[in-house]
Structure 1
Amino acid sequence: MSTANKSSAVSDWTADQLPSLEGKTYIITGGNSGIGFEAARMLAGAGGDVVIACRNAEKGSAAQHALQAQAKGKVDLVQLDLSDLASVRSAAEIVATRYTKIDGLINNAGIMQTPELKSVDGYELQFATNHLGHFLWSGLLKPNVEAAQGRFVIVASLVHKMGKINFNDLMMRETYAPMKAYSQSKLANVMFGLELQRRLSDAGSASFVTMGHPGWSATNLQSTGPTGLMSKTYKWMNKLFAQSAERGALPTVLAAAGLEAEPNGYYGPTKRMESVGPVGVARIASHALNPEVARRLWDESEWLTDFKWAFY
């Protein structure tokens, strides 16, 4: 394994260390529940204007009102279905028009260990939602992030260490397994973030990429994706081993707005094999650092989303 940023001195970071975020704008996918909701709450509590982008408009509206009741900044809502590339394009157009400058584009939403399902575009659902949707979303909103010299924030997972990018069967049509598909999609998140940072650096951009993972945190992720025995297993395991969604959101908040966060920084819990505990520098699997695989994944992602990123 390799640390993402060995020079970082981040240790036991908390949201109390946030500066005033007044006048700054943060867009967070999946901000209506779990890690996303808690991260949005902390950012808005520090004065930032927050936009939650989520699939279910009713749940999104309820979350928006709950957040606004305790926020110092404004809370907006945009409907977005990351598994539907047409929805991604439509939502990105709305956001780009409303918010010319984005200080933090937080790619948080995701699904986990679903049965074998396809997106409306015909792609494996976990890969489509967790990776391809965010790949396109980030590319479309890149000019707005760069206008603010802002951050692209990738919410990854411990299971990226188990992942493998199977270019011969990216959509797992030959041999599907829920965890295998999930770990591939989360490895793709990490490799996308690292490759994006390489390209931003080569282009001389002032924007940069930061990443974080929530460790093992109790959220809806474990109950809305897995089915059968796995779903039941997660319920009792969460009670024994998981930390709260609030604790799990801290790495995301640090990556999005902490003064301590650095380009290519990767943050997460530091106890019990990085599953819980104080927030500090996390570790990236060595195979995620392969630039050749990352470049190929990038090219495949551009082809699958029919979108070409622009770097100047």
Structure 2
Amino acid sequence: MMGCEGWSLLWLACLVSSFLQNCAVRVTVRESSVEVVRGDSVTLPCTFFTMMPLYRLSIIWTLTPVSDPASPMQVIVYDHGQVIESPSFMGRVGFTGMPWSADVVLNDTRMSDAGVFRCVVSNPPETGDPGIGELSLTVLAPPSLPVCLWEGDTDAGGSVKLSCMALEGFPSPQMIWEKLEPDQINLPVNMDGEKTGSVQIANFSAQNSGLYRCSVSNLLGTQHCYINLSVYIHPDNSPGILQGVLLSLSMALLLLALIVLVLWLHRSAQESKWINSREEEECYNEIKYTPTLIKRSFV
């Protein structure tokens, strides 16, 4: 017959056996969100606790990118002592404290790295569900050099639209349009999405001519681009100007006619002189070569 001590040991053995069969790896993420400047390195923290030896430890890091939430991807895997890096992260990611820690360091961060990272840890023969930890990574970037464009009609009375576009920058950069000359004036900006801001100028005039600047900025820096606009004023087609043009044209034609007349008279005089000279020469030759009359004698 089993004594109280025996029953106590049996109950304790059953309790331990039940605990070992149903225990699971516990995962803790020290920070739920992490920020990094694009190009810098960042540590993604993940610690775990297990009751079993680490012979069959498995750790899988995955990423659900902000740019494509429907396409999660594998980042790095530790399985049975071997480390496998995803081709998209080859040479940029690595474990820092294996096998006692699941922390990884991510180097040369890119905008595409932003998203939700998951750390999944399992350690057979523990039969419970794998331990899972999540954290979000935000990648910060200064604004890229913006592109300034304009479209419309710079004739007096026309309408002009100024546009400014910055392709990169997080947090999304703030846009400011200013007219710099002769006085610095802030202009109302219409945001066409997160990356483009425009300004509409109606009834364009000489007062609108000058240098315009678009500034894009966030907490990491500021970039600028410029546009120089000049109003075009059509010449005034008034009757006075038209009459002046016609008068100038008439005077030019009259002067041309006088020149032609003078040249014609000069040529006529030359031709008349030449004709008279020819006539005199012919008369002289007629007299010079007239045959001598022979006198006849009569007996």
TM value normalised by structure 2: 0.21
Q: If you compute each CA radius of gyration, which structure gives the higher value, 1 or 2?
A: 2
TM-score relative to the length of structure 1: 0.21
Which has a greater percent of helix? 1
Which structure is higher in strand share?
Answer: 2
